[in-house]
Structure 1
Amino acid sequence: MAATLSLPKLLNLPRKQQPRIHSKLFSISLKTSKSQSHSSKHSHDPQNLLNQTILHLKSAPLPLTALTLPFFLHPEDAVAAGGQFGILEGRSFALVHPLVMSGLFLYTLYAGYLGWQWRRVRTIQDEINELKKQVKPVAVTPDGTLPAEPPKPSPLEAKIQQLTEERKELIKGSYRDKHFNAGSILLGFGVFESVFGGLNTWLRTGKLFPGPHLFAGAAITILWAAAAALVPPMQKGSETARNLHIALNAINVILFIWQIPTGIEIVLKVFEFTKWP
């Protein structure tokens, strides 16, 4: 009886408002059902499919990082060619190539010094062998015994002793391994930075500038690869490969030095036509 009497009261109670999200979901479901029914009718029309796809993409929310990223890049303040690539066209990235190549030039000289020291280890032994052939044997008595007072070392023997000590010190320096590691680093970073230099020029200006600097840089890269390709025959003892390796690296250093003035001109243009960052 109590339940029967309370039924009218329950019917008269005010209904709680449904969250607005249900109404939105209901409207979205209606739109979706309508769009599905509409797309089923025009499923073979590619233009309608394209329009629907663009409509859904427009309504999709973008992450906050995607909206704020352009404010951090400041493309118009950092570029020299319009801002299509953002900070990659700025002065900071443009200065990476000259700074790295300056370091590689000094590292090339260091690698050459290591290579020359390792060559000295091999050639000094040949000198010692040649000097030993010129040393006169020690005179002995008729009965075959040595004289009471040993003779003073000759200048040849003193030279042999000096070269022997020098060779021992060179061997302790491990110049062979140091030269090999330096050459590997120089080849890897050199080729990468040569390509990066041309790429950075294209990012800033939209084109490359064929000229002495570009051609010399391409020649240096080729010489690096050619000198590294001679390592296997050098390890087998080919003296021709060793001499050619030295000649190619000497030409490389000359091209490096000749390229410095044109590189400075390009750096000045970077400061003239670009802005930080």
Structure 2
Amino acid sequence: MSLENLAALKPYLSFFHPITMWILLVLALYAMYLGVQIRRTRLAEGDLKKELVKGRFAIRHHQIGSILLALMVIGAIGGITVTYLNNGKIAIGPHLFAGLGIVGLISTSAALVPFMQKHEWVRRIHISLNIILLGLFGWQAVTGVQIVQNILSEMNATAAG
């Protein structure tokens, strides 16, 4: 791909990261729902437990978590790359640090999974990290909207001038 083609894509590249992150935020909320269902299944008894087991929540939670881990890391790298391509520098600020924190939290949370079967305290750490991650991710989404608004303003100013 030539640099001219890349330059033509620049305006659109700015929106790939935020759209991807909003999709991942919804996916993360779904993963949380599945995690809650796993807990309900673990604590249930009798017929309710038999019914909940049919939902295969643990398998789905693990699969969605794996997808989230991969796409969040790729999305963070993509966001940083697009920022560099558009500005010639990486914008150092709260949005970047929160994004890097999210990558660290989700990586650590995923790394705990093999130890959760034998240690309840590891499961609690996993859950706590993911709650913090979701809060940080929600804040990240709000600050990302502000950044997108700035990009749109700059695009409108460039188009008008």
Tell me what 1:195 maps to. Answer: 77
Report the equivalent of 2:63.
Answer: 181
Q: Specify the alignment match of 2:8 in structure 1.
A: 87
Matched, 1:166 2:48: yes
Which consecutive segments of 4 or more residues in structure 1 shift more than 6 A? none
Cα deviation digits, residues 150-209 of structure 1 (max 9, x gap)? xxxxxxxxxxxxxx2221111010101101100000001111001110110000001112
Give the number of the structure whose alpha-carbon radius of gyration is greater: 1
> Are 1:231 and 2:113 an aligned pair?
yes
Match of 2:137 in 1: 256
CA distance in 2, matches of 1:260, 1:183: 19
Alignment of structure 1 residues 1-277 onto 2, 5 Å: 70=4, 73=5, 85-88=6-9, 90-125=10-45, 164-235=46-117, 237-274=118-155
Q: Tell me the matched-pair count.
A: 156
More displaced 10-residue stretch of structure 1: 219-228 or 209-218: 209-218
2: CA distance between counterparts of 1:169 and 1:264?
41
> 2:95 aligns to what SS in structure 1?
helix
- Superposed CA deviations along residues 205-231 of structure 1, whole A, max 9, x for unmatched, are 011121111111110010010000001
Whole-Å separation in 1 of the counterparts to 2:24 and 2:111: 20
Q: For 1:242 and 1:109, locate their aligned partners in 2 and report how far apart those are by CA, in whole Å.
A: 18
**1:100–1:193 contact (8 Å) kept in structure 2:** yes
Structure 1 residues without counterparts, runs of 5 or longer: 1-65, 74-84, 126-163
- Counterpart of 2:20 in structure 1: which amino acid? V
Name the structure where helix makes up a greater proportion of residues.
Answer: 2
RMSD: 1.9
**Match for residue 13 of structure 1?**
none
